[in-house]
Amino acid sequence: MVIAAAGLGAAGGSGFFFLAKAAVVMLANKQMSNVMGKLRVMSFKSWQISYLNAHFKAFSIKFHSLRILMCTKIISIEISIYAFGFLAYLCMVKLKTNIILSLLLASVASFVFIKSMRKPMDVKIPALKTLDSQAYDMKSLKGKVCVVSYFQTWCGDCVKEQPELQKLHNRFGDSLTILMVSDEPIPKIKAFKERFQSNLNFYHSDAKLKTDLGVSAYPTTILIDKKGKEKLKRVEGIDWYNTETIQAVSDCLK
């Protein structure tokens, strides 16, 4: 009985011990599992941190590179802007210089032109023939004040000019020589004179008025002083008997 009890006790004790051992092992396994789990979590987090650090470093490198690239672009753009501005300035300076030079040249040309226009021009009268086909003595015009009218018999303004020149001739008489000159045939000139019953002197010119003398419009009438200089000229001007003309002729006769 005692032995059986002892056996049972021994058996129970060993069973308890086994159960206790099993419980310890399970607890230890659980703790180990917890520890391993925590270690795995820590390892995973460590891996995540390493991964994030690596990507952050890569991102930092890319961002830094991008910042450097942007700075380089900005600097290149600024350099381009400054270069463009400098070139524009040079162009403006060159343009201003060209404008100034052009204005100076234009001023000089205008001055020379105006001066040449103010200078009395010598008038060359072509060789003339009377209506009798006789050569006119051109030397007889030396030292005389005269009016030369280049006309055409078909010209309406030339017809209107006749009475004006006739009035001028009547006022100054023989002191003013008036020459009516045309390059048309002598018979046409004669018919023109007879038609208007003019007392003026008509002449024929062998030289062509348009091509040889440069007469571009009719009538072209010129007042010439005693020195053979042009004092007054009118192209297609029919009003010759006026205050200005009378004063100009009077000044030439002084």
| Residue 110 within a domain | no
Say if residue 163 is in the same domain as residue 76.
no
| Residue 230 within a domain | yes
| Residue 122 within a domain | no
| Residue 44 within a domain | yes
| Contact present, 167 and 241 (Cβ < 8 Å) | yes
| Residue 99 within a domain | no
| Residue 114 within a domain | no
> Measured between alpha carbons, how far is 149 from 217 in angstroms, rounded to an integer?
11
Residue 124: predicted pLDDT: 87
Say if residue 144 is in the same domain as residue 242.
yes
Per-block mean pLDDT, blocks of 10 residues, the chain (254 long): 40 50 56 55 51 49 51 58 61 62 66 56 90 94 95 94 94 95 97 91 95 94 94 89 94 93
Which tokens belong to 60?
């930092």
Say if residue 152 is in the same domain as residue 242.
yes
Which of 62, 86, 110 terminates a domain? The answer is: 86
Residue 131: predicted pLDDT: 96
Q: At what angle do helices 243-253 and 156-172 cross, to 10 degrees?
A: 50
| Contact present, 177 and 146 (Cβ < 8 Å) | yes
> Measured between alpha carbons, how far is 148 from 199 in angstroms, rounded to an integer?
15
Say if residue 194 is in the same domain as residue 82.
no
**b/e code 124-155 from CB counts within 10 Å (16+ = b):** ebbebeeeeeeebeeeebeebbbbbbbbbbee
Residue 165: predicted pLDDT: 95
| Contact present, 124 and 209 (Cβ < 8 Å) | no
Q: What is the CATH number of the domain that holds 168?
A: 3.40.30.10
Say if residue 151 is in the same domain as residue 245.
yes
Say if residue 186 is in the same domain as residue 132.
yes
Which residues have CB under 8 Å from 241's CB, separation 6+? 164, 165, 167, 168, 171
Say if residue 37 is in the same domain as residue 145.
no
Whole-structure pTM value: 0.55
Counting the structural domains of the chain, the total is 2
Q: Which domain holds residue 180?
A: 128-253
CA distances from 60 to 68, 88, 103, 247 (A): 12, 41, 63, 99
